[in-house]
Structure 1
Amino acid sequence: MTSGDLSFRQFTGPGDVTDGLRRTLADCWVEVTNAGGAAGFPFPPVDRAHVAPALGAIVTSLDPRTSRVLTAALDGELAGWLHIRRDPFALIAHWGSLHHVQTRTAVRGRGVGAALVREARRIARDEMGLEQLRLAARGGVGLEAFYGRLGWREIGRWPGALRLAPGDDRDEVLMLLAPL
């Protein structure tokens, strides 16, 4: 569905992420959040100063075994990104989770998000050795349908877990992709 050259790149260590990439990732996060996206900051508006500490924590945690950032570029420009994470504790090391899945507003509806999630699935299975992926999505914004089209299934809900504003409580939807 995308028109243009879509490419992926993953970052597996803090040293892989340049200052320029940090700014680009932060700018994407700000844009997505301020457009109402469910990417980790529920109370827009935000700016780079708001997202920088959270992004810094992600970058600091990067490790090829447990934490990766995956980016999608369309015609050489960042179109979206996500974070793949796993816990090294042996009891749960067979599954991982996706966080902060987001695409730039200008490329929405062009298949970038779906392609990004499919590539994350491949990396999780083929490179990280994971057997399943999990995520928590904000209810009421169509994310269940988006992930459902990609093979994910809802495994539970926390009714009213997310309070975006007085009178605007949303479910947190727990989703699973298994087997990978």
Structure 2
Amino acid sequence: MMDERVSVFQQITDQHEMSPDLRRELIECWITVSNAGGAAGFPFPPVSFDQVALVTDQLIAGLDSQRSRLLLAFVDETLAGWLNVRRDVNPLITHWGTVHHVQTHTGFRGRGIGAALMHRLGDVAREEMGLEQLHLAARGGMGLEDFYGRLGWKEIGRWPGALRLMPGDDRDEILMMLTL
């Protein structure tokens, strides 16, 4: 069930909308999630502030209202979770977008923030970006396909053993899609 204090959502569609404080909060969330073993883009914890800041700054620099945006969820004015949605400008595939870095800060897990983000994402993708489908790739062995499945996402394929976390720990990359 969703925590009743959630649900201030904010979109960032341009790098100039990102304050230094919000940038730091986003980086700290990503560090916390990654170092807790979360499948959010950094597979080999521990990660450092500088390591995450470099990738965060690249992500922020690429923001554009039609091609890439951040969706943030706040609880009591604190960043509780976020994700990135991107679309390619190739006219053959501009009708779908890809979801990246879905994460809920570990201090806010179990409150429905991830599900709330994904529901809000559907509205944003359809109504504001004009998308018809969303795609994502999830790390196998983490139960993520069950989480997304409960939200209406369908598994459309797997790349068996595509992710090597360490010798002897190969995971499938699970390809999923949501029709909007």
For Structure 1 versus Structure 2, the TM-score category normalised by the shorter chain is over 0.9
Counterpart position of 1:122: 123
* 1:29-68 aligned within 5 A: 29-68=30-69
Letter in 1 for 2:63: L
Return the alpha-carbon distance in structure 2 between the equivalents of residues 68 and 24 of structure 1. 17
Residue 104 of structure 1 deviates from its aligned partner by 0.6
Counterpart position of 1:93: 94
Return the alpha-carbon distance in structure 2 between the equivalents of residues 114 and 48 of structure 1. 27
Q: TM-score, normalised by structure 1?
A: 0.98
Return the alpha-carbon distance in structure 1 between the equivalents of residues 80 and 68 of structure 2. 20
Counterpart position of 2:133: 132
Return the alpha-carbon distance in structure 2 between the equivalents of residues 132 and 3 of structure 1. 29
Return the alpha-carbon distance in structure 2 between the equivalents of residues 47 and 28 of structure 1. 12
How many residues are treated as equivalent by the alignment? 179
Is contact 2:80-2:108 (8 Å) kept?
A: yes
Unaligned 5+ residue runs, structure 2? none
Is contact 2:81-2:103 (8 Å) kept?
A: yes
Residue 5 of structure 1 deviates from its aligned partner by 3.7
Letter in 2 for 1:142: G
After superposition, what is the alpha-carbon deviation per residue over 1:117-162, rounded to whole angstroms, capped at 9, x for unaligned? 1111110000000000000000000100000000000000000000
Q: TM-score, normalised by structure 2?
A: 0.98
Taking structure 1 as reference, are residues 13 and 148 closer, same or farther at Cα in structure 2, changes over 3 Å only? same
Counterpart position of 1:147: 148
- Report the identity percentage: 60
Q: Post-superposition, which runs of at least 4 consecutive aligned residues in structure 1 deviate over 3 A?
A: none
Letter in 1 for 2:120: E
Unaligned 5+ residue runs, structure 1? none
Is contact 1:6-1:75 (8 Å) kept?
A: no
Does residue 6 of structure 1 match 2:7? yes
Residue 52 of structure 1 deviates from its aligned partner by 1.0
